């Protein structure tokens, strides 16, 4: 099983809909992250969490919210999706040797 699992892998949603992207990890790492990738822009940090009570905004948090339901789960929500939130979203954990492990990504299309 993958260390970091993202669901769904692909999602198409309509403008104005609420959508949640889910991330779970199996290694018990405290620190989890959500990134967004746009073509030609690299990855940018949306939110990160050090534990269930510690949530921090990243570079581009506007229009997003997160929930750390448990140590293993970190969800990203778009309260009212808009087309420019169409992107590839990655969840990541910080491992014990200070490396980052990424999930396989969720490709979100807002129409």
Partner 1 sequence: AQKVTQAQTEISVVEKEDVTLDCVYETRDTTYYLFWYKQPPSGELVFLIRRNSFDEQNEISGRYSWNFQKSTSSFNFTITASQVVDSAVYFCALSPYSGGGADGLTFGKGTHLIIQP
Binding site for partner 1 (CB under 8 A): 31, 33, 35, 40-45, 48, 50, 56, 58, 88, 90, 94, 98-102, 104-105, 107
Q: Could you tell me the smallest distance in angstroms from the CB atom of residue 71 to partner 1? A: 15
Nearer to partner 1 among residue 51 and residue 79 (C-beta): 51
Q: Compute the distance between CA of residue 104 and CA of residue 26 in angstroms, rounded to an integer.
A: 14
Nearer to partner 1 among residue 11 and residue 31 (C-beta): 31
Nearer to partner 1 among residue 74 and residue 90 (C-beta): 90
Structure tokens belonging to residue 52: 């269930």
**Cβ-count burial 65-87 (b if 16+ within 10 Å, e if not):** ebbbeeebebbbebeebeeebeb
Q: Compute the distance between CA of residue 77 and CA of residue 93 in angstroms, rounded to an integer.
A: 18
Q: Could you tell me the smallest distance in angstroms from the CB atom of residue 107 to partner 1? A: 8
């Amino acid at each position: 099983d993958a260390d970091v699992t993202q669901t769904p892998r692909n999602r198409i949603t309509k403008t104005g809909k609420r959508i949640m992207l889910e991330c779970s990890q199996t290694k018990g790492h405290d620190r989890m992250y959500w990134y967004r990738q746009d073509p030609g822009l690299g990855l940018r940090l949306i939110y990160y969490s050090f534990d269930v009570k510690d949530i921090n905004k990243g570079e581009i948090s506007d229009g997003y919210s997160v929930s750390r339901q448990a140590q293993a789960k970190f969800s990203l929500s778009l309260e009212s999706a808009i087309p420019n939130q169409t992107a590839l979203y990655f969840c990541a954990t910080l491992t014990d040797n200070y490396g980052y492990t990424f999930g396989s990504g969720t490709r979100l299309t807002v129409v």
